[in-house]
Structure 1
Amino acid sequence: MKKNTYKWPAIGLVFSSLFVISACGSNDSNSATAQDSTWLEQADLEANETPEELYEAAKEEGKVVVYSQSSRIKDVKASFEKEYPGIQVEAFDLGTIEIVEKVTREQEAGLNTADVVFVKDGGGIVSGELLSEGMLHKYAPDDLVASLDEPFLDEPGLPFYFSTRTIFVNTEAYDESPINNWWDLTDDQWQSKIVMDDPLLSSDTLDLLTTIVQNTDEMEAAYKDKFGTDIELDGTDNAGYEFIKQLLANDPVFLSSGDDVVEAVGTPGQENPPVGITTSSKSRHIEEQGYHAEFLYDVNPKMSVAGTSYLYMANNAEHTAAAKLLIRWMAGEADGQGEGFRPYNVPGSWSTRTDVSVEGQRSSDELDLWPYDGEYLYDHTNEVRNFILENQ
């Protein structure tokens, strides 16, 4: 896999400083390698300790530090500390880009702050860089792996749930969905009436658009299904890029929060509401907020691409027993029913296990999704990002 020199807006700005940190913080690469080897041996990530055994060891450590992509980590902190008194959870709620930056800076500087990292792949950069450079490690005890669905058995970290970036519509204004094809979003009807997470700030949205580019043949077929003619490319050589170009020409409104997208789509009393593109997991707020909105399952050519969330052990983590215990807790323990998984077992999310589901939504094997291709995303995300900048 080739290594990119520039991935995300924020990361690109700090690459030079990361180089300096790396140069200053690594005086002896051989001793660093030996240190990592010793830590891996002591951490024994292949072991299958019981929660009781881990708790006894974790009490000696006293705390665990987690970098989390989700604000729901505060609920995990509360339930974990109640279940395991004597162990403090230091939780940092960060975006995917921030997590990659923070882990990279600290690891290059020899700082072992994080114990657990909870993050998506984010354009393939986590698997392409953090994992390949040995900054993160997989901890997946046998009793957690035993119930994983087959597509998730060979993953770089411990996958415990996924959501997807997809289309939301207002159910009060429309008895039937006005959208059944991604190309519908290019119609004049939706001029300035599309709200979505800013793809230059949201790695998940950029993953979706890059995956659309990857699947150009399917986008060509979907175009013909809608318009009845073959697509004519206007300055592009790919139907996915053509879709992005026409979508941007329809003047979508970029928002910084998926909550704002769902609110804009689902606020009651609208005669001509917008449609939205955001994470399906935001549907968990719809009922409590009184919104009239739902995400779409049936969109030609695919609903979307899965965005799987992973749990990792950070390299040279200082609180390994507590980290193992927290990973087990967040994954729902052996039966999947543990309190730590409850904040993530919500509408619009799907467990990676075969024995856990959310009532009232389609099962994961009923979803028509593109596969997540981290290697393709790692190699092509920057190209798609530049295309968006050029066509805004």
Structure 2
Amino acid sequence: MNKGKGLKNGALLLLTAMMGFGIAGCGTTAADKSANTGAAPAPKTEQAAAKTDDKKEDKKLGGKLVVYSAGPKELAESIQKGYEAKTGVKVEMFQGTTGKILARMEAEKANPVVDVVVLASLPSAQGLKKSGLTLEYKNAANADKLVPDWSDKDGHFFGYSASALGIVYNTKQVKTPPKEWSDLAKDEWKGKVNIPDPALSGSALDFITGYLSTKGDGGWELFEQYKKNGVALAGANQEALDPVITGAKSIVAAGVDYMTYQAKAKGEPVDMVYPASGTVISPRPAAILKSSKNQDNAKAFIDYLLSDEAQKMVADTYLLPGRKDVKAKDRASVDQITQMKIDWTWMDTNGDAVTKKFTQMFK
């Protein structure tokens, strides 16, 4: 359960190649019954119309739904089981990073099969919408309770959860943790820091592009200092965290908080700091694809993601719930994390270029 924009060139081809896919229409109309007298059918009463709407809402679902989901694995599986039990729909699930999800979609572009994508980066969903690949769903249940900045106002994607990026450290090796992003360029941390690869981690890309959107070109100086200080590009989020858990490294720069809280709850020697200068909270959006062959099932899946039941699952996984009325569990809440004033539009537009430059810098 873990990018259109901002990932390697292969993912970008997906967006251009899949443009123009039509949306299969759905929906039926019911004819009014009238007496066999040749008279015009009588108009529906409000009560009759309401009954018709109820029947539409209660329409029996069935068949299957194909979902490609970024992690966490246990959350994706819990949501899958809960949705299947509630609807009777069989879910075919592929789990991977946002980069792997988009690469798979590219490989299937001639015959798309996925109905719903759950990504780990808002700009990725923005890119899918911009390329005309997402289906508008304006009447999603509980959408009005979502954090507005995490979702599309036109209903093309829904930020059902979020994670924040911070400085993750091994508590056995680090007694006085660094407090700011710039601290990681100091000699005491030379060769001891990992950073996730923005080509594989949507949240890492959100941090890097978010930081640059606030600092401008001058922001590259920090990452140049990281490179000189031996900061290592270490795969996706879990690959960057694991060496810190084992003690092979001391710190993750732009580490994902929910993974840290999960590991800490299991007794691993890790904790994290959110720099006072600000960080990025990375929404995790879900979107229905226009090419979906199971649109009713897909809409029901979005409804389930935003339900009380699924939002509790989100909180239990140490993610930030997407709904404002659902509390985070045993972790810092949104109002306890200082955020940078980032520009999501800039991040979406410049994600590919930033990824290419960053990965070349750290080769």
Q: Output the amino acid matched with 1:274.
A: S
Partner residue in 2 for 1:89:
91
- What is the DSSP-based 3-state SS (H/G/I as helix, E as strand, rest coil) of the residue aligned with 2:117? strand
Partner residue in 2 for 1:11:
10
Partner residue in 2 for 1:119:
119
Separation of aligned partners in 2, 1:102 and 1:207: 21
Matches within 5 A, 1:146-165: 146-152=144-150, 154-155=152-153, 156-165=156-165
- What is the DSSP-based 3-state SS (H/G/I as helix, E as strand, rest coil) of the residue aligned with 1:114? coil
TM-score normalised to structure 2 length: 0.78
Q: 1:40 to 1:251 in 2, by over 3 A?
A: farther
Q: 1:51 to 1:319 in 2, by over 3 A?
A: farther
Separation of aligned partners in 1, 2:80 and 2:54: 17
2:61, 2:87 within 8 Å by CA — same for their partners in 1?
no
Q: Output the amino acid matched with 1:375.
A: T
Matched, 1:145 2:146: no
Partner residue in 2 for 1:212:
211
Q: Which runs of 5+ in 2 are unaligned?
A: 29-51
Matches within 5 A, 1:33-48: 36=23, 39=25
Q: 1:322 to 1:382 in 2, by over 3 A?
A: closer
How far did residue 41 of structure 1 move? 6.7
Separation of aligned partners in 2, 1:368 and 1:117: 29
Separation of aligned partners in 2, 1:50 and 1:358: 35
Q: 1:174 to 1:52 in 2, by over 3 A?
A: farther
CA deviation vs aligned residue, 1:204-225 (integer Å, no higher than 9, x gap): 21221222222227xxxxxxxx
Q: Output the amino acid matched with 2:179.
A: N
How far did residue 371 of structure 1 move? 4.6
Separation of aligned partners in 1, 2:85 and 2:349: 44
How far did residue 174 of structure 1 move? 4.5
- What is the DSSP-based 3-state SS (H/G/I as helix, E as strand, rest coil) of the residue aligned with 2:280? strand
How far did residue 345 of structure 1 move? 1.7
Separation of aligned partners in 1, 2:264 and 2:6: 37
Range 319-328 or range 136-145, more displaced: 136-145
1:54, 1:324 within 8 Å by CA — same for their partners in 2?
no
CA deviation vs aligned residue, 1:173-215 (integer Å, no higher than 9, x gap): 455x421111100001111000221234323212212222222
Partner residue in 2 for 1:378:
348
Matched, 1:306 2:281: yes
Separation of aligned partners in 2, 1:279 and 1:259: 9
Q: Output the amino acid matched with 2:133.
A: M
How far did residue 390 of structure 1 move? 4.6
Q: 1:103 to 1:173 in 2, by over 3 A?
A: closer
Separation of aligned partners in 1, 2:8 and 2:150: 30
Partner residue in 2 for 1:183:
182
> Percent of counterpart pairs with the same letter?
18
Separation of aligned partners in 2, 1:50 and 1:80: 23
CA deviation vs aligned residue, 1:205-257 (integer Å, no higher than 9, x gap): 1221222222227xxxxxxxxxxxxxxxxxxxx43110000011111233224
How far did residue 357 of structure 1 move? 1.3
Partner residue in 1 for 2:272:
295
- What is the DSSP-based 3-state SS (H/G/I as helix, E as strand, rest coil) of the residue aligned with 2:145? coil
Partner residue in 1 for 2:42:
none
1:81, 1:89 within 8 Å by CA — same for their partners in 2?
yes
Partner residue in 2 for 1:66:
67
Separation of aligned partners in 2, 1:52 and 1:353: 28
Which among 250, 258, 281 is matched to residue 281 of structure 1? 258
- What is the DSSP-based 3-state SS (H/G/I as helix, E as strand, rest coil) of the residue aligned with 1:146? helix
1:198, 1:255 within 8 Å by CA — same for their partners in 2?
yes
Q: 1:288 to 1:133 in 2, by over 3 A?
A: same
Q: 1:356 to 1:216 in 2, by over 3 A?
A: same
Separation of aligned partners in 2, 1:367 and 1:119: 22
Q: Output the amino acid matched with 2:323.
A: R
Separation of aligned partners in 2, 1:322 and 1:240: 44
Separation of aligned partners in 2, 1:365 and 1:207: 19
CA deviation vs aligned residue, 1:327-383 (integer Å, no higher than 9, x gap): 12222x2xx2x1x33442246421122211123323212321125533212332333
Separation of aligned partners in 1, 2:147 and 2:358: 35
1:54, 1:321 within 8 Å by CA — same for their partners in 2?
no
1:196, 1:253 within 8 Å by CA — same for their partners in 2?
yes
2:159, 2:286 within 8 Å by CA — same for their partners in 1?
yes
- What is the DSSP-based 3-state SS (H/G/I as helix, E as strand, rest coil) of the residue aligned with 1:139? coil
Partner residue in 1 for 2:202:
203
Q: Cα RMSD over matched residues?
A: 3.3
Q: Which runs of 5+ in 1 are unaligned?
A: 43-48, 218-237
Q: Output the amino acid matched with 1:64.
A: L
Separation of aligned partners in 2, 1:112 and 1:51: 32
